[in-house]
Chain A
């Protein structure tokens, strides 16, 4: 997936649970259905919790990529 397809992004590295999820949720609420949000999440609790909560809210996680420096690039399609 190219960078161009991302409609918005959030760098949530260093942001603790559940603030990282709340920020993701609020951002998704502003976005159009079908658009794509990219979030950067630390490994550990953020990666264990945020994708799961996003999934429970009904959105679709379309891509997860591990990056150097112990963080992940997660792409979410708003439902």
Chain B
């Protein structure tokens, strides 16, 4: 097969084109950060799929969409047509992958932080090889708005999870005991004086006490992000380790940048961040990146 003249090989290197089993066919992975997509874009994708693909799409586990069955010579045309509509191509290989996140505080009643908004910022800042990133291996980030961790931040190379620290305004408490029965961690017991006592060592900062309190006696002392590092799935799954608690949301990008610099320097080619962290030790990693 001869290469069409219009194809930009350097653009191909940015990833997102997945060779299919059938000769000359590719699946085109789209960049749909945090799985948020407009109905108009979905229509456009459907149109492109019918026009240049086989009318079949794959919804990926990372909230992405792949257009299947595009022949090699049409890749550039598809890319141009998608870009014209404001759609971009995703990543594969040793790159910073499209960030995933739950809908977060703006949509979900459980959300503590704007995980989707942060995910979009993370994607915009680091995607692919932004900021001169030349990574040893793929790098996946997921951001969860609360302790339910629906987008699985601990299964990613780096993950954030929203958290909230409760504080009791004693004067507003009417000793109803709702917080005691609501707390799934058994971290709250009603004391002899009728006021709830919170056991800091059991508290996971989910905020259920704050949300359930009928008199708003439990209030938020601070909101932040728990950071996890080194998680992955694949052949040798491992959950990410807790790197920090209560990272201020405005410092969220800085910490990721710091971890990326560490990984770029210390990671061996083909080594996922979790392996690097295990080799160097979590304490040393904390000393270096925090």
B is bound to A: yes
A65: chain B residues within 8 A (beta carbon): 176
Closest to B181 in A: A43
A50 nearest CB neighbor, chain B only: B212
Confirm or deny: A63 has a beta carbon within 8 angstroms of a beta carbon on chain B.
yes
Chain B residues within an 8 Å CB radius of A52: 109, 211-212
A47 and B214 contact, CB distance less than 8 A: no
A10 on interface, CB distance cutoff 8 Å: no
Known A52-B212, A55-B214, A56-B109; judge A47-B181 contact (CB<8 A): yes
Q: Which of B176, B177, B208, B215 contacts A48 (CB 8 A)?
A: B208
Find chain B residues with CB under 8 A from A58 CB: none
Chain B, interface residues (CB within 8 Å), range: 10 to 19
Residues A48 and B182 in contact, CB atoms below 8 Å apart: yes
Least Cβ distance of B190 to chain A in Å?
10
The smallest beta-carbon distance between B205 and chain A, in angstroms, is: 16
Check B290 for interface membership: any CB of A closer than 8 A: no
Given the contacts A48-B208, A56-B109, A61 and B181 also touching, CB distance less than 8 Å: no
| Chain B positions 117 through 160: 1 when the CB is less than 8 Å from some CB of chain A, otherwise 0 | 00000000000000000000000000000000000000000000
Check A66 against B177 for contact (C-beta < 8 Å): yes
Question: For the side of the interface on A, what is the size category?
Answer: 10 to 19
Q: Chain A contacts of B109 at CB under 8 A?
A: 52-53, 56
The answer to the question of B178 belonging to the interface, with a C-beta cut-off of 8 Å to chain A, is: yes
Query: Shortest beta-carbon distance, B111 to chain A, in Å?
Result: 13
Q: Mark A51-79, 1 if CB is under 8 A from B, else 0.
A: 11101100001111110000010100000
A47 touches B176 (CB 8 A): no
**Whole-angstrom distance between the alpha carbons of A33 and B214 in the complex?**
18
Chain A residue at minimum C-beta to C-beta distance from B208? A48
Q: Name A residues whose Cβ lies closer than 8 Å to a Cβ of B.
A: 43-44, 47-48, 51-53, 55-56, 61-66, 72, 74
Q: Identify the B interface with A (CB < 8 A).
A: 109, 176-178, 181-182, 184, 208, 211-212, 214-215
11 A-B pairs in the complex with CB atoms less than 8 angstroms apart:
A43-B181, A44-B181, A51-B178, A51-B214, A52-B212, A53-B109, A61-B214, A61-B215, A64-B177, A65-B176, A74-B214
